[in-house]
Structure 1
């Protein structure tokens, strides 16, 4: 099975400008291709994973991916898929975010390979030094206003309003494709389906600028969820690739809680499992859904891919401890990850604390009477161990690595005591 057939099996092809021509090109030579990543934040999120992993699939097939960081376009703002103008960031912020994105991309693409290494490019290198007259005469002259107005990224913003700054974004992205085509013989641009207008505009600029040009565009579907909610969002916000913004445990939990209707699709999208393995997991999902084998494999594969084997092991360890109630077996770092979203209370005085007093002070119980009743009824656990002694006093031995105590009230209500 060739590369395009594999992408088709995985549902990763939304549109291709000339599928037959691209198939022929890929069978005849190893090509250069690119996808762009604008630094609109200090981290990429899981919505970026699909184009990144598609570049990886091309690299594994012997092709040469170029990861383009938008140091220039990130200063402008892409209107695609946005209902309102983006907030413009300062140049120093965009430079900082560009460097962070480069580091994250290096986790996935092999820039050090002795054979067929991937490369990083930054469009500020060529757009940043261009003057306005050259931009208008040499590039802007190739774009008719009617042509630009017809693009979805512009049309969707006509009523709400679009500035000339964002209106010009399409031209800048087209210039990227032309530059990489001329300077590096890059013949394919890939991106999300919302980038179709920008990609085809780039192909049009190449056609007008270069004789006998041969370039292609391919878009990947935007990821959707069966329940209609937005992919990559949780109650806490976006799911980031930066472990400081989304811990490996939270990341693992996002994937393991995937809707049954989406899990096979995501296995195809986000893992490198073989077709046979995916079909086998799909059959098991239908025959024994209670085992959740597909969900576990998805969570394991993507967490390992993004955060590594050690972080995956830690995420599984936290999950098992929380399920079994063996809280005391966790490290302070694991407690921090596993209980990031539970109510917390900071103890300023580290002397011994009477449990009844702590329950009231931390608002775990509304009154001393209720606190005593909860303790007597066996509703209170300290680090997974039930406590029914009304005179119980918390000591240093109840502090995990001197930093945390986990209190549970009832079966599911957790509270984190910090020291």
Structure 2
């Protein structure tokens, strides 16, 4: 995409929430620029909210600009008060180091660090670690009017709330503002991006750049990833949707996007994917005409899963999804199987029942609660409606052994087309 088209691309996608000077930004983007977004390492993985910002860096890079992904090894020690109703718990040095390493590794998967506009991956701890407290107050703090800081929404909302704001968190704005000045000075970085909750911190950096460098800088924010009723996306009853497959499996990741509401799906496609305008409009039309088909959700889920987890991750997610509709169940571990059938009733059985001749299949269906009696189980099997791991049971004399487990400890039983149950086999203490 030519550089001149970047702003129009961001506009139709709805990715410009605020800009300190859109005319100045348009002028800057006529030539290659350096653009940065900061990421505080609050965990060893980013979640989908962080992916939205990574995609913004990626869009700038594809338009011919150089992105800087800044990991907040220093700012992460404090915690950003923006959008928070109470103070974060401070992380240990060991936690922070692990988080920085995990987040940095993920960033390398989404940005090009070798091309003509090679991305930079920086850590603000590298320049903050050498500051003494007095030196920072003298060299940086003197440029911050306290009245201006108190006027920022992120500060005022906390001061007006019950939890208040510590001096530690109050200082966060100074650190992020200095990041912008440092990057402007060393890398000629004139544009900072972020979520809309970062507006106060970004404008503080622009003001500091004017005072310390006499240089005009530009800030740009994107909307937060919210549902149509104002809730943060990327969260479920079981927690956040992470990019790390060990935290959120490709299957669970795929299913999250597959189940996005009609009111939210087109916005997710615009914000998070690289699907072009023509396909976007076609999906929007299909969703309006036939919402039950879920064409947009299907495309979103497949695009996102392949982008984050690759072809193997997508194939794994599709295979797991088919298991809910009768596909053969095999080669899964307990975690994967448990996620696929998390809403299915389960029963505990002593693993010793699988030893010797094994567990009579008729008894297995009763223990699982799928049949009410031996006769009911036999009748279900005779009529061809009994399945173990989605394989039809041939006759009522079958005995189930450890070879019939679908994972380390679990077996999936089904009666008819959709009535599932799990048997969990574990050693009794």
Do both share a fold (TM > 0.5)? yes
- Other-structure match for 1:382: 388
Contact 2:365 2:377 in 1 (8 A): no
2:178 pairs with one of 161, 169, 175: 175
Shift of the alpha carbon at 1:84? Answer: 0.7
Distance 1:357 1:172 in 2: 65
Distance 1:72 1:346 in 2: 51
In the TM superposition, what whole-angstrom CA distance separates every residue of 1:186-219 from its partner, at most 9, and x where no partner exists? 11110000000000000010000012x1210000
Contact 1:42 1:100 in 2 (8 A): yes
Instruction: Determine helix, strand or coil for the equivalent of 2:200.
Output: helix
- Other-structure match for 1:130: 131
- Other-structure match for 2:98: 96
Shift of the alpha carbon at 1:336? Answer: 5.6
- 1:315–1:84 Cα change, 3 Å: same
Contact 1:375 1:388 in 2 (8 A): no
Q: What does 1:297-376 align with in structure 2 at a 5 Å threshold?
A: 297-323=299-325, 325-328=326-329, 330-333=330-333, 335=337, 338-339=340-341, 342=344, 345=348, 347-349=350-352, 350-351=354-355, 352-355=358-361, 357-358=363-364, 364-365=368-369, 370=372, 372=374, 375-376=377-378
Distance 2:284 2:244 in 1: 30
Instruction: Determine helix, strand or coil for the equivalent of 1:116.
Output: coil
- 1:201–1:227 Cα change, 3 Å: closer
Distance 2:395 2:219 in 1: 69
Distance 1:107 1:75 in 2: 25
Shift of the alpha carbon at 1:80? Answer: 0.7
Distance 1:64 1:248 in 2: 30
1:407 pairs with one of 404, 413, 416: 413
Structure 1, 83-92 or 401-410: larger mean CA deviation: 401-410
Gaps of 5+ in 1: none
Distance 1:148 1:416 in 2: 59
- Other-structure match for 1:268: 270
In the TM superposition, what whole-angstrom CA distance separates every residue of 1:208-232 from its partner, at most 9, and x where no partner exists? 0012x12100000011112454311
- 1:229–1:355 Cα change, 3 Å: farther
- Other-structure match for 1:185: 188
TM-score by length of 1: 0.91
Distance 1:389 1:101 in 2: 53
Distance 2:36 2:349 in 1: 49
- Other-structure match for 1:11: 14
- Other-structure match for 1:26: 29
Distance 1:282 1:174 in 2: 40
The root-mean-square deviation of aligned C-alpha atoms, in Å, is: 2.3
- Other-structure match for 1:118: 119
Instruction: Determine helix, strand or coil for the equivalent of 2:109.
Output: coil
Distance 1:297 1:67 in 2: 28
In the TM superposition, what whole-angstrom CA distance separates every residue of 1:60-82 from its partner, at most 9, and x where no partner exists? 01100000000011110100111
1:60 pairs with one of 62, 65, 80: 62
Shift of the alpha carbon at 1:400? Answer: 3.4
Distance 1:302 1:138 in 2: 44
Contact 2:410 2:422 in 1 (8 A): no
Instruction: Determine helix, strand or coil for the equivalent of 1:290.
Output: helix
Contact 2:64 2:117 in 1 (8 A): yes
Shift of the alpha carbon at 1:399? Answer: 2.4
Contact 2:47 2:241 in 1 (8 A): yes
Distance 1:110 1:74 in 2: 25
Contact 2:17 2:222 in 1 (8 A): yes
Contact 2:37 2:194 in 1 (8 A): yes
Distance 1:173 1:201 in 2: 8
Contact 2:366 2:374 in 1 (8 A): no
Contact 2:33 2:65 in 1 (8 A): yes
Distance 2:373 2:221 in 1: 58
2:226 pairs with one of 224, 233, 258: 224
- 1:141–1:341 Cα change, 3 Å: farther
Gaps of 5+ in 2: none
Shift of the alpha carbon at 1:393? Answer: 2.5
Instruction: Determine helix, strand or coil for the equivalent of 1:156.
Output: helix
Instruction: Determine helix, strand or coil for the equivalent of 2:110.
Output: coil
- Other-structure match for 2:158: 157
